[in-house]
A = this chain, B = another copy of it.
Amino acid sequence: MGLIVQKFGGTSVADAERIHRAAKRAIATQSRGNQVVVVVSAMGDATDDLIELAKKVCTYGGVDTTPPKREMDQLLVTGEQVTIALMAMAIHAQGNQAISFTGGQIGLVTDDAFSKAKIQSINKQRIFEQLEKGRIVIVAGFQGMTADGDYTTLGRGGSNATLVAVGAVLKADVCENFTDVDGIFTADPRIVKNARKIDRISYDEMLELSGLGASVLQTRAVEFAKKYNVPLHVRNSQNETEGTWIVAETPNMEHIVVSGVALKKDLIRVTLKSVPDRPGIAARIFGEIAAANIVVDDIIQNVMDDNTANISFTVEHGELNDVKPIVDALVKELGGKLGPTYHSDLAKVSVVGAGMRVHTGVAQRMFKALADARINIQNITTSEIKISCIIAKEDGPKALQIIHDAFELGKA
């Protein structure tokens, strides 16, 4: 007996048959005495198809224009709305009761940062009313509504953000994230063949891994789960295998020095050269970038002899169009002598493990593995439980494999 929130991603609801399989799973969970809320993504390629359609419409007279972000979100939210209605119909066809809700209909209020909005609140009342009637409640992932009633989307991994946010407000016993893989692996199994499924991992480790390019769960979803202490269970929608549990850290997790390695594939390093070295400059730069809702990856600053500083930071390649006008304007205003440079084709390889807090020699082992493979390290950044190296993009997959091997992660 409990309250379980389940999420089915796009591939798990890609056609009528798979929707029925997901519906069956939700019904089975309910029949074991649980209240069940189901969060769904858009069907298969539905979102990509909508983006394609928008691109076509935004090309006029041979010129590409950028669609207004509000209208893009107005368009994209329809993808999940289709799935929730079909999922409710599927559950009904299987003889059970269900009701579907868009983000707006459960009062999932966000800010107005269209295309990457942040959840501000959810009205749990409407969900509980329906659960108490014995219905399975279907919620559209990835979307919300501003206080003014404009539709918003939550950005990449938004459906997972919905999963955890709904789980948190309902104080769910577990959030089950159904995907097409068996769980979280010690490395991306598409790159590292001997990668192994992890049974349990702490929120902090998962946070580092998801922030570093392990794409099953996004940072935001894990942060939310940690904050509200909601256990997350990442599992395969096609089988009954136990997946990976993401939970609060327990003392015996420290025995594992490195839990996993991750690769972030497509980074750009922006460098502002010879910026005046006075207090407040960094705050100014990164304040403006944050205000534009651009996520900065790593920051490196070196002070030079002439009282100027070189400030570098990395962002994902896709952010370049957003970040460039801001940086160019700032450099002009701040009087950088040597205009900004944009260095693309970078990758970041990282090792993550709660055990690093008590074990030494992890960094040395990582650097040696890279050196032995003649892979050049361009930058290094660290946290309490991770070490990252910026390398050339082309070296990424190889680096991931050799570090995975260096820590013997393929062995049980």
Q: Show the binding face of A for B, using Cβ within 8 Å.
A: 16, 19-20, 50, 53-54, 56-60, 63, 65, 67-68, 70-72, 74-75, 77-78, 81-82, 84-86, 88-90, 92-94, 99-100, 102, 104-105, 149-150
Instruction: Give the distance to chain B from A382, nearest Cβ to Cβ, in Å.
Output: 44
The answer to whether B57 touches A16, judged by C-beta atoms less than 8 angstroms apart, is yes
**A74 CB contacts on chain B under 8 angstroms:** 81, 84-85, 88, 100, 102
The answer to whether A90 touches B16, judged by C-beta atoms less than 8 angstroms apart, is no
For the complex, what is the distance from the CA of A105 to the CA of B77, rounded to whole Å? 14
Chain A facing B: main interface SS: helix
The answer to whether A99 touches B70, judged by C-beta atoms less than 8 angstroms apart, is yes
Instruction: Give the distance to chain B from A180, nearest Cβ to Cβ, in Å.
Output: 20
18 contacts between A and B (CB under 8 A): A16-B57, A20-B60, A54-B86, A54-B89, A57-B86, A57-B89, A58-B92, A59-B93, A60-B93, A65-B92, A67-B92, A74-B81, A74-B84, A74-B85, A75-B85, A75-B86, A81-B81, A104-B149
**A90 CB contacts on chain B under 8 angstroms:** 57, 60
Query: Given A89-B68, A149-B105: A81 and B84 within 8 A (CB)?
Result: no
The answer to whether A20 touches B57, judged by C-beta atoms less than 8 angstroms apart, is yes
**A92 CB contacts on chain B under 8 angstroms:** 58, 65, 67-68, 71
The answer to whether B53 touches A71, judged by C-beta atoms less than 8 angstroms apart, is no
**A81 CB contacts on chain B under 8 angstroms:** 74-75, 77-78, 81
The answer to whether B89 touches A82, judged by C-beta atoms less than 8 angstroms apart, is no
For the complex, what is the distance from the CA of A99 to the CA of B104, rounded to whole Å? 19
Instruction: Give the distance to chain B from A53, nearest Cβ to Cβ, in Å.
Output: 7
Query: Given A74-B81, A104-B149, A149-B104: A58 and B99 within 8 A (CB)?
Result: no
- Which residue of chain B has its CB nearest to the CB of A65? B93
The answer to whether B93 touches A56, judged by C-beta atoms less than 8 angstroms apart, is no
